Chains A and B, each alone.
Chain A
Amino acid sequence: MKQLVVENLGKIYFDPRLGERVTALEAVSLRITPGEFVAVVGPSGCGKTTLLNLIAGFLEPTSGRILLDGRPVEGPGPDRGVVFQSYALFPWKTVLENVAFGPRMRGLPRAECEARAKRYLELVGLGHVAQRYPRELSGGMQQRVGVVRALANEPEILLMDEPFAAVDAQTRMTLQEELARIFEERRPTIFFITHDVNEAVFLADRVLVLSKGRLREELPVPIPRPRRWAPLVEDDAFKGLVGRVLQAVRAA
């Protein structure tokens, strides 16, 4: 079982501006099983991005540990694909080169990397922009590339850090549905950070509420898949769950 286990994780850092130590995370434990979609919601400053950065290996924990498939996480690695809020595409590489980057770094032959990148771009309908540079695309298209760049590397788990926060509301809903569709078809394991309660409930199997560095609540989302916005916006079960998560976020 290639599951992600986070045990008693804590992160304290020194803030030079405040001149004091700040606790970003405290005693966070969670477990994500393969094929599961877990979302963490919480207000800004609650420590959710710190949690993702620790799992990604960009930061080192002060206490506790992170295990993937039983092995402790040490630094960033291709087993954990990351999708960033700011897309983080390489501006000097074409869309195709961006998506082929991961496979290429793992030593696959060039032709195979390109073929795989093309296949994944087709998955989100972006085959026609393969030769363009990222800045020539809209924000929504750039983030589609960001998502398939991580997917094309076929990681054990996909870490998504508020990936749709920077695009407009219409595009956001389209991207959410697209991600839901990809998840339904391929069942990757996804760890998703957001401050948008609707988004968390729409996408996830399980929603965790994080506040002031601690996990406060855990709510399963028993809404059947496939999930699409049109039926769900008026769905009572969906609205009830959103209300409960919202309450938990505000109470915490």
Chain B
Amino acid sequence: MTAFEHLSGLWLRAVERWPVLATLGPFLPLLLLWWAVAAAELFPPAFFPGPLEVARRAVELASKGILGAYLEDSLLRLVVGALAGIAVGLPLGLLLGLSDRAHRALWPLVLFFQAIGDIAWLPILIVWFGFGLGTMTFVIVYTVMFPVLMNTALGVRSIPEVLPRAAASLGASRLRILLEVVLPGALPNIITGLRNGLGFGWRALVAAEIIVGTSGIGFMMFDARRAGSVTEVVVGLVVLGVVWSIVDSWILAPLEKATGERWGLVAR
């Protein structure tokens, strides 16, 4: 047995024991490369900080409470915006999915407005709402709404015609058909829309914070640039990626799995 085989055997056993290693593993070579490039000082350290320095700065920011407070601000905005986006997108999506007339009348508008990127709205939003919460909320609601709306409509329209028919001939009222057939039938698509919407929303939020924010991770990064701390900018980048990975793999992906895959509606 070669040393390589021995090592890879050890690795596989370790992954089996601690599944989280499967997620972290691919980052090891990247971290090493980052460290090597930084250590070689190909670029001035002030422009290209190494991983250790970034980690040190992250701990420092966290212990001062800045990182936690900013992260809380960002996540709270995301949650509030996402809830509002769902509250608008879900009923509209159901309407567009259920009514051919509504679909004909509104679908071109939906396509038009979803094509205008959230950030493209910022110049006019700043004029309307100023540099503040109004602008930021609009951007997140806007970003979350369209994927939820479009996927909900798609999900409703992809329910086989026989299912609502079967329910009706078993005595279900229109409301019961909506609750027991249409919603669960569209749920896998709705969750996919949610997953996309929240992902886009997270990115849009950071962009909005950079431009109009007074707190949050995006603001922290932009503020650090002003102060000339590249290290802090990189801390922000890492935090953004880590937070999203956690939200996606601990909340959204299991939710998607628990519904669609169990019912056999989505192929694995």
Please list the residues of chain A having a beta carbon within 8 angstroms of any beta carbon in chain B.
Answer: 56-58, 75-78, 80-82, 84, 86, 88-92, 101-102, 105-106, 133-136, 149-150, 153, 159
Contact = CB atoms under 8 A, between A and B. Distances in A.
Contact of B262 (A58, A77, A133, A159): A133
State the main secondary structure of chain A at its contact with B.
Answer: loop
A219 B222 CA distance: 85
B162 A88 contact: yes
A86 B169 contact: no
Interface in B221-265: 259, 262-265
Contact of B165 (A88, A92, A106, A136): A88
Interface of B: 160, 162-163, 165-173, 176, 180-181, 184-185, 187, 259, 262-265
21 contacts: A58-B165, A75-B168, A77-B169, A78-B170, A78-B171, A84-B165, A84-B166, A86-B160, A88-B165, A89-B166, A90-B180, A91-B264, A92-B184, A101-B172, A102-B170, A133-B262, A133-B264, A134-B264, A135-B264, A153-B170, A153-B171
B155 to A, nearest CB: 12
The 3 A-B pairs of least Cβ separation, nearest first, read: A135-B264, A78-B171, A102-B170
A105 B169 contact: no
B167 A101 contact: yes
A88 B263 contact: no
B169 A91 contact: no
Contacts of B176: 105
B197 to A, nearest CB: 22
A92 B185 contact: yes
Contacts of A77: 168-169, 171
B265 A78 contact: no
Given A76-B165, A84-B165, 10 more contacts: A77-B171, A81-B169, A90-B181, A91-B264, A101-B170, A105-B172, A105-B176, A134-B264, A135-B264, A153-B171
A152 to B, nearest CB: 9
A171 B34 CA distance: 63
